[in-house]
Amino acid sequence: MTDQSDPIQDSPTQFIIEPFLPTQEVHLLAGTSDAGKTRWLFSWLLEWQQGNAVVGCKSYPVPWVYVAGDRTERTANRTLLDMGIDPEKVPIIPAFGKDRKTKRQLMEAIAKSGARFAVIEAFQRYIEPPGLSYQVTAFLDEMSCYTEVSKDFPEGLTILGVVESPKLKPQERYQDARQRVSGVSAWGYYSSTVLLIERKDPTAADDPRRILYVCPKAGRRMEIEGSFSENGILNFNRKTTEIDLSKIASKSFSFSERCIRKGRVQ
């Protein structure tokens, strides 16, 4: 477990990263299994922990924890070592395999850690199957309750849930990046900020370039281009493109209609 005493903020702030990750909310990080979500997470979390800017935005570090919900702690440590990161610098709650936890056990472990920011891999695994719209809505509603100030979380909790997005052909994708999360539209509707990582060229399997879509529920949306370094760290620079929301609705609706006819939308 890493020492997180400095430069952590002593007083509550309104953001984890200003302006796109407000505190005491449930956020999502989405992407396909090979998008590089975890490798980006580890790199920016360590920068954020030191109070350094993330994609050019101001950081407000607080006590945090990473929940390894889709891999063993050994695998998580191997990923860190492969990136040249000392595993001791990352506070991990193992929650896979022999360490698998129920939703209640997971939240108790986060509370016991003293974290005010929890990054939870395989966030969707804690939903009641088969993960229909009302079940996702109820899950996000319940998770939102944990963000409030309480006995377990006396300064509140901010959650970043890591989820999958489907591999689709370019012409099949929703135009709105908030809706490109696997499953039902409730994911994008009931979460706060959605961060989505996709290949810049979705037809090229060996393309190291990625696009980070930053999609707050309220506020300016951004597209940020990045790529993998030689040691496998995914970095995004601050050259951004604002997303024109006026061009989204018609294309998203046309794809939604096709999915409904095929019985793919709940």
> Which of 44-58, 93-107, 134-148, 176-190 comes out lowest in average pLDDT?
176-190
> Could you tell me the pTM of the whole model?
0.85
CA pseudo-torsion sign 26, 32, 34, 36? negative
pLDDT of residue 255: 31
pLDDT of residue 254: 32
Of all residues in the chain, what percent carry a pLDDT higher than 70? Answer: 82
Q: Average pLDDT of 76-93?
A: 95
The mean of the pLDDT values for the chain is 85
CA–CA gap between residue 170 and residue 185 (Å, rounded): 19
pLDDT band for position 63 (cuts 50, 70, 90): very high
User: Domain 15-261 maps to which CATH number in 2.30.110.10, 3.40.190.10, 3.40.50.300, 1.10.3720.10?
Assistant: 3.40.50.300
Residue 146, sorted as left (phi over 0), alpha (psi -120 to 50) or beta, turns out to be alpha
pLDDT band for position 76 (cuts 50, 70, 90): very high
| Of 166 and 134, the one with more pLDDT | 134
Domain ranges of the chain: 15-261
